[in-house]
């Protein structure tokens, strides 16, 4: 093999991953035999029109849903055959999720939303929670807003808090489903830039976006159309693994 100075290690590997739904009307293919790799440390953008399967794919990657066929590997280990409990434990340790509509708990302050994530994640002893919440708010530029309720924050500020919450248990992967879809273009760019900064600290970012200009800034990108992978680009070189039957 040629000498590659920046060979990226695969973090996720998808092998012929399909999602099919069966109803009275028959079988619907939501995702059709997707095979691709998400390199460790990449900024991986997923784009495609509404209904193309982007959120379904994220649900498979985060183990919220399982494929109908095919394999998903994380650090070389099969994810989709883990039990529900093991999968939930894996998700808690490895993935932070950011949503389009922020999904902060409205009766909890910014800080309390993060404390709850720390309680659920169980990554740190109780005595370290306050300090960690403060660090996470600091990282997204929201430390002065710790005591505010979500309703007392702008959309961009709520999304920053939601990102801080996703960082709480220090997961190696951040997954975001159109996190700027509900924000004006200037705020959207600020939030995207924040994800780029987090990527620079070593987090792998998996980012769904409709915005072609933003997707073009990602190190890696795929495009879906009707559940099919129609375009793929990677700036990082990943060693091709022999397909195993």
Ligand X SMILES: Nc1ncnc2c1ncn2[C@@H]1O[C@H](COP(=O)(O)OP(=O)(O)OP(=O)(O)O)[C@@H](O)[C@H]1O
Instruction: Draw the binding track, 19-48, toward ligand X (x: CB under 6 A; -: no contact).
Output: --x--------x-----------------x
The DSSP secondary-structure symbol of 50 reads T
The DSSP secondary-structure symbol of 197 reads H
Describe the strand order of the beta sheet including 220-225 as a list of residue ranges: 95-98, 173-177, 204-208, 43-47, 220-225, 228-234
Pairing status of strand 26-39 against strand 220-225: unpaired
Rounded CA separation 200/94 (Å) = 18
Nearer to Mg ion, 129 or 192 (CB): 192
* Residue 53 binds which entry of ligand X, Mg ion, none, CB below 5-8 Å type-dependent: ligand X
Pairing status of strand 220-225 against strand 43-47: parallel
When CB distances to Mg ion are compared, the closest residue is 55
- Binding residues for Mg ion restricted to 164-223, rule: CB under 5 A: none
- What's the min distance (Å) between Cβ of 53 and ligand X? 4
Q: What share of the chain is helix, strand, coil (3-state, %, to 5)?
A: 35, 30, 35
Q: Which residues contact 135 (CB under 8 A, 6 or more apart)?
A: none
Question: Which residue from 54, 91, 94, 203 is in contact with ligand X, where contact means CB under 6 A?
Answer: 54
- What's the min distance (Å) between Cβ of 152 and Mg ion? 28
Rounded CA separation 45/25 (Å) = 33
Three-class DSSP category at 69? strand
Rounded CA separation 48/32 (Å) = 14
**18 contacts 34 by C-beta, under 8 angstroms:** yes
* Residue 235 binds which entry of Mg ion, ligand X, none, CB below 5-8 Å type-dependent: none
Among the residue ranges 50-58, 81-89, 168-176, 185-193, the one whose residues contact ligand X (CB under 6 A): 50-58
Residue 55 near Mg ion by CB under 5 A: yes
- For ligand X (CB under 6 A), the number of binding residues is 10
Nearer to Mg ion, 153 or 215 (CB): 215
Residue 230 near ligand X by CB under 6 A: no
Beta bridge partners of 152: none
- Cα dihedral sign for 143, 146, 148, 153? positive
Nearer to ligand X, 20 or 40 (CB): 20
Residue 51 near ligand X by CB under 6 A: yes
Nearer to Mg ion, 54 or 132 (CB): 54
- What's the min distance (Å) between Cβ of 180 and ligand X? 13
Among the residue ranges 54-62, 90-98, 122-130, 234-242, the one whose residues contact ligand X (CB under 6 A): 54-62
Question: Which residue from 2, 26, 27, 50 is in contact with ligand X, where contact means CB under 6 A?
Answer: 50
Binding site for Mg ion (CB under 5 A): 54-55
């Amino acid at each position: 093999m040629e000498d590659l100075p920046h060979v990226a290690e695969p973090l996720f590997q998808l092998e012929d991953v399909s999602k099919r739904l069966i109803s009275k009307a028959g079988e619907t293919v939501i995702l059709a035999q997707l095979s691709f790799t998400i390199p460790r440390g990449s900024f991986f953008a997923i784009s495609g029109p509404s209904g193309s399967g982007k959120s379904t794919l994220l649900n498979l990657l985060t183990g919220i849903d399982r494929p109908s066929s095919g394999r998903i590997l994380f650090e070389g280990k099969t994810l989709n055959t883990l039990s529900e409990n093991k999968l939930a434990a894996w998700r808690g340790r490895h993935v932070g999720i950011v949503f389009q509509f922020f999904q902060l708990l409205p009766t909890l302050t910014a800080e309390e939303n993060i404390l709850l994530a720390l309680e659920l994640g169980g990554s740190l002893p109780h005595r370290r929670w306050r300090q960690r919440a403060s660090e996470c708010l600091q990282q997204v530029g929201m430390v002065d807003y710790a005591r505010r309720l979500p309703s007392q924050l702008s959309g961009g500020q709520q999304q920053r808090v939601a990102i801080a919450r996703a960082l709480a248990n220090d997961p190696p992967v951040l997954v975001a489903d159109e996190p700027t879809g509900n924000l004006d273009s200037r705020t959207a760019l600020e939030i995207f830039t924040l994800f780029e900064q987090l990527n620079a600290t070593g987090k792998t970012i998996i980012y769904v976006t409709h915005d072609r200009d933003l997707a073009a800034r990602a190190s890696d990108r795929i495009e879906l159309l009707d559940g099919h992978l129609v375009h793929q680009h990677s700036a990082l070189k990943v060693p091709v693994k022999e397909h195993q039957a």
